[in-house]
Amino acid sequence: NWVELGDEFRRAVTVTKMRASPISRVTRECEIVNGVGMRVLARTIPPNAQPIPFAGYFGLLARSPERHTTGA
């Protein structure tokens, strides 16, 4: 899936069920690397980048992402 956040598009993957595991509906950012395949990115943000990680949003795949508030 492609997710639009601000002025950029980012790739996302959601795995809703794995065998013998509890259900997790977390959307994670991923990238496709030539000759390597798909790699799911870690939740940490590189120090030189400013984007908010996917975990900071609600409704990523609903085409209306909303940021989590930090002081609720």
Give residue-wise pLDDT tens across range 3-39: 666 667 777 777 666 677 776 666 777 888 888 888 8
Tokens encoding 29: 């950012």
What is the pTM assigned to this prediction? Answer: 0.40
Does residue 71 surpass a pLDDT of 70? no
Tell whether 7 is covered by a domain: yes
CA 56 and chain centroid, separation: 9
Tell whether 70 is covered by a domain: no
C-alpha to C-alpha distances, 12 to 17, 70, 71, 72, nearest whole angstrom = 16, 23, 26, 26
SS3 content of the chain, % helix, strand, coil (to 5): 10, 35, 55
Please state the domain count of the chain.
1
Tell whether 72 is covered by a domain: no
Structural domain containing residue 22? 2-65
